Amino acid sequence: MTDQAPRPEGDIPGKPTAASRTTLSHIMTGSDTNLLGTVHGGVIMKLVDDAAGAVAGRHSGGPAVTASMDEMVFLEPVRVGDLVHVRAQVNWTGRSSMEVGVRVMAERWNESTPASQVGSAYLVFAAVDADGRPRRVPPVIPETERDNRRYQEAQIRRTHRLARRRAIKELREKRAADGIED
């Protein structure tokens, strides 16, 4: 279902998307608020990182560390008393890295109305060994058309991350060569 490159013989077998998908739920309390009385964005970001880290560790079969966070989007404020559900899954894998997509949903703790999306993010994790060195991860195997779309979109985001990193490095090298200090 994907255009994923074939892996060499004897390589780590792939894992389906559903194998590591998870949801972390948490009721927001007064200690989670900012000065405006809504839930602090940093609290939501911590939940996002926690859920994504669990998914990355489950998929890779061991420790994984956050390498970057892309496109953390806050769509609606979260309030005290909201039951927040953070849904995460591996969208794409490389040699030792994984992109994890996260959707943040919220609903009132005491109402039976459907949860609405309040945020989303993409994080990149690197699988590491006991010495903190990169280690191989299993390829992710998309199971649905939605998973396949997420895999393809993740490849585009990866291309953009690498191009941005390269462009910044080249700019800094040029400025240093021109004697411009930052």
pLDDT digits (tens, 9 = 90+) for 96-108: 999 999 999 999 9
Q: Is the pLDDT of residue 117 over 60?
A: yes
Half-sphere exposure of 125 (CA within 13 A, CB side): 34
pLDDT band with cut points at 50, 70 and 90 for residue 38? very high
Q: What is the DSSP string of 7-61?
A: PPTTPPPPEEGGGT-EEEEEE--GGGB-TTSSBPHHHHHHHHHHHHHHHHHHHHT
Whole-model pTM over 0.85: yes
Report the pLDDT value the prediction gives residue 174, as an integer from 0 to 100.
Answer: 94
Report percent pLDDT > 90 for the chain: 89
Binned at pLDDT 50, 70 and 90, residue 70 comes out as confident
- Does the structure show a pLDDT above 80 at 2? no
